[in-house]
């Protein structure tokens, strides 16, 4: 079974690539720094060795000139320590003169000088050596310098020293350890930063992936938060614009489907209305005429006249129903003129008050002054407002409050006249807010449910709209929008 996952996430791949690049980069930088530091440390050891060798040469110049081997031996033995392993002095003929105890039995070191035949005061010979001392290896830097008297160009001899490189190697190891620690710290910080960056890059992409899934399931209202102004932010903004366009397209399609269903429904109602008008009107007219003829008979008593009056009102109700039904299904043309919306509202209020003279209603007005006129069919607008106001009047009880507001507003960047009619009656359930505009739907015990359906049809003919909302606690509110510049 493979230990590697079959599918690496984007952040994981980004992290692996960043870790690899950082490792190579840090490794190359550390390699260059290590080489440079080692060269610097080795150069310092060479300069130190040359300085020590010249110092010993200056101390032993006079004894060498007088071949005072005893003094030379004392001088060089006094210089030997844990860093200076051995000292060997040669005469002008490169013959060994005096050496330290370490060189006894080591003729491969003390046998001969390594200086070239032609030398000057700046000549220095360097050579790295490794000597075996039992199981331990001794690393040395051999330095040899010529010996000159002050102001003379004649070489009197040379001094060869063996300088231990243990301190230098320890310094190199210490430097490498510090560089490794710095490299590991830098690598860790780089990987950590890459992880954070990868997570920041992957998080909006995961949100986009989740958003596409939600959109594919039909949730076009889903928005992705835009947290940056880079390419990923542009992608999120484009996604939000796409989902908004899809949402608008779906709403337009739903509206078109709703209108298609409404048109089919109106066609069915129209056919039904024509049948009702044909089948009911003729016998209804006969009934109405016979009731009127009987009503003129003088032999009727008061009770019989009351019954005939009820029958006559019933036939009138049936006639009005048939008229409303035919008006609703019939495609009528608008007789457009400029009207003051305030005047139409006042006329509609008067019509409703005259129809309900026995009801005491508190009517509140809130009209914005200097509103533009609307291009509309005045009779049909009065019919709309009368239907809405009559519903409000019938909904409230004695001393109930009906409030009418008139103001200007904007919708989709276009100017509209806004009429709001609200009451403090019992209201209606929220679920019925859209259904109350359907034909034959009513929440009242009386009525056939055509008033609001006719109102919506008339307003849509004018390029306007009507919507209803249940009040907070009780009551109902109807909002009517009419375009200022007439039919759109």
What is residue 487's predicted lDDT score, i.e. its pLDDT? 43
Q: How confident is the model at residue 6 (pLDDT cuts 50, 70, 90)?
A: low
The sign of the torsion formed by the CA atoms of 44, 47, 53, 55 equals negative
Is residue 446's pLDDT more than 70?
no
37 or 465, greater pLDDT: 465
pLDDT value at residue 267: 65
Question: Out of 3.40.50.11540, 3.30.565.10, 3.20.20.540, 3.40.640.10, which CATH number does the structure's domain 334-483 have?
Answer: 3.30.565.10
Q: Measuring CA to CA, which residue among 463, 354, 471 is closest to residue 421?
A: 471
Please give the model's pTM, rounded to 2 decimal places: 0.45
Where are the chain's structural domains?
10-173, 334-483
How does pLDDT run across 219-271, given as a tens digit for each residue? 777 777 776 777 777 777 887 888 888 888 888 888 778 777 766 766 666 66
Confidence of residue 216 (pLDDT cuts 50, 70, 90): confident
> Whole-angstrom Cα distance, residue 374 to residue 339?
5
Query: Tell me, what's the pLDDT at 83?
Result: 83
For 410-426, the pLDDT digits (tens) are 887 788 999 999 888 88
Whether 334-483 and 10-173 are alike in CATH topology: the answer is no
pLDDT beyond 60 at 141: yes
* pLDDT class of 326 with cuts at 50, 70, 90: low
Residues 35-53 have a mean pLDDT of: 85
DSSP sequence for 443-457: SSSSS-S-HHHHHHH
Residue 105's pLDDT band (cuts 50, 70, 90): confident
What is the structure's pLDDT at 350?
87
Distance (Å, rounded) from C-alpha 118 to C-alpha 155? 10
Going by C-beta distance under 8 Å and a sequence separation of 6 or more, which residues neighbour residue 360?
Answer: 398, 399
Predicted local distance difference test score (pLDDT) of residue 419: 92
Instruction: Report pLDDT digits (tens) over 282-295.
Output: 677 777 777 777 77
Greatest mean pLDDT range, 2-6, 155-159, 320-324: 155-159
In 3D space, the residue among 226, 243, 244 whose CA is nearest the CA of residue 235 turns out to be: 226
Whole-number average pLDDT of the chain: 80
What are the tens digits of pLDDT across the range 258-316?
A: 777 766 766 666 666 667 666 676 677 777 777 777 777 777 777 877 777 787 777 77
Are 236 and 226 in contact by the 8 Å Cβ rule? The answer is: yes
340 Cβ neighbours under 8 A, 6+ residues apart: 371, 373
% of the chain exceeding 90 in pLDDT: 3
Q: What's the first-to-final CA gap in the chain, in angstroms?
A: 69
Lowest mean pLDDT among 33-42, 71-80, 281-290, 344-353: 281-290
Q: Check: CB of residue 244 under 8 Å from CB of residue 237.
A: no
Neighbours of 138 (CB within 10 A): 15
Question: Confidence class of residue 330 from pLDDT cuts 50, 70 and 90?
Answer: low
Closest CA to 79 of 165, 159, 166: 159
Closest CA to 233 of 197, 212, 203: 203
The pLDDT tens digits of the residues spanning 114-139 come to: 888 888 888 999 988 888 877 788 88
pLDDT value for 405? 92
Q: What share of the chain is helix, strand, coil (3-state, %, to 5)?
A: 55, 20, 25
Residue 156: partners with Cβ closer than 8 Å, 6 or more residues away = 61, 64, 65, 91, 92, 147, 148, 149
Mean pLDDT of 59-63: 83
pLDDT digits (tens, 9 = 90+) for 147-168: 888 877 888 888 899 888 887 7
In degrees rounded to 5, what are phi and psi of residue 440? Answer: 70, 10
Model confidence at 392: pLDDT above 70: yes
Average pLDDT of span 27-35: 82
More confident of the two residues 61 and 481:
481
Retrieve residue 84's tokens: 């200076």
CATH superfamily of 10-173: PAS domain (3.30.450.20)
Helices (H), 341-395: 341-355, 378-395
Greatest mean pLDDT among 149-153, 271-275, 383-387, 472-476: 383-387
Which class for 85: exposed (0-12), middle (13-18), buried (19 or more C-beta within 10 A)? buried
**How many C-beta atoms surround the C-beta of residue 367 within 10 A?**
14
Cα distance between residue 128 and residue 385, in whole Å:
112
User: Between 393 and 312, whose confidence is greater?
Assistant: 393
């Amino acid at each position: 079974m493979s230990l590697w996952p079959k599918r690496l996430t984007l952040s994981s791949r980004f992290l692996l690539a960043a870790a690899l690049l950082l490792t190579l980069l840090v490794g190359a930088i550390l390699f260059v720094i290590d080489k440079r530091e080692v060269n610097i440390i080795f150069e310092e050891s060479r300069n130190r060795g040359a300085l020590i060798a010249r110092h010993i040469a200056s101390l032993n110049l006079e004894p060498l000139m007088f071949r005072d081997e005893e003094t030379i031996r004392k001088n060089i033995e006094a210089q030997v320590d844990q860093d200076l392993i051995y000292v060997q002095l040669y005469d002008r003929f490169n013959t060994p003169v005096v050496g330290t105890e370490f060189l006894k039995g080591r003729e491969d070191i003390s046998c001969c000088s390594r200086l070239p035949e032609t030398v000057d005061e700046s000549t220095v010979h360097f050579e790295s050596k490794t000597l075996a001392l039992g199981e331990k290896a001794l690393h040395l830097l051999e330095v040899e310098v010529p010996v000159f008297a002050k102001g003379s160009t004649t070489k009197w001899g040379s001094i060869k020293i063996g300088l231990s490189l243990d301190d230098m190697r320890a310094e190199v190891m210490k430097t490498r350890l510090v560089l490794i620690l710095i490299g590991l710290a830098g690598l860790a910080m780089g990987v950590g930063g890459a992880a954070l960056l990868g997570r920041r890059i992957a998080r909006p992409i995961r949100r986009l992936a989740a958003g596409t899934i939600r959109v594919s399931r039909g949730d076009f209202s889903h928005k992705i938060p835009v947290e940056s102004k880079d390419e990923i932010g542009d992608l999120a903004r484009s996604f939000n614009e796409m989902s908004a366009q899809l949402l608008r397209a779906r709403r337009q399609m739903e509206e078109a489907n709703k209108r298609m269903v409404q048109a089919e429904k109106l066609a069915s109602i129209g056919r039904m209305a024509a049948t009702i008008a044909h089948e009911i009107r003729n016998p209804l007219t006969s009934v109405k005429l016979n009731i009127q003829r009987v009503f003129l008979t003088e032999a009727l008593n008061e009770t019989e006249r009351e019954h005939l009056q009820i029958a006559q009102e019933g036939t009138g109700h049936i006639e009005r129903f048939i008229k409303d039904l035919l008006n609703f299904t019939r495609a009528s043309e608008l007789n457009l003129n400029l009207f003051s919306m305030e005047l139409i509202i006042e006329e509609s209020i008067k019509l409703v008050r005259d129809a309900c003279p026995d009801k005491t209603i508190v009517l509140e007005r809130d009209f914005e002054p200097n509103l533009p006129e609307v291009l509309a069919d005045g009779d049909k607008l009065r019919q709309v407002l009368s239907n809405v106001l009559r519903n409000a009047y019938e909904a409230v009880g004695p001393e109930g409050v009906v409030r009418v507001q008139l103001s200007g507003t904007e919708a989709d960047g276009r100017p509209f006249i806004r009429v709001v009619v609200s009451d403090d009656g019992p209201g209606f359930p929220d679920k019925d807010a859209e259904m109350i505009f359907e034909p034959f739907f009513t929440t009242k015990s009386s009525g056939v449910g055509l008033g609001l359906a006719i109102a919506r049809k008339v307003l849509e003919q004018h390029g306007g709209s009507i919507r209803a909302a249940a009040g907070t606690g009780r009551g109902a509110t109807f909002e009517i929008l009419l375009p200022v510049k007439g039919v759109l």
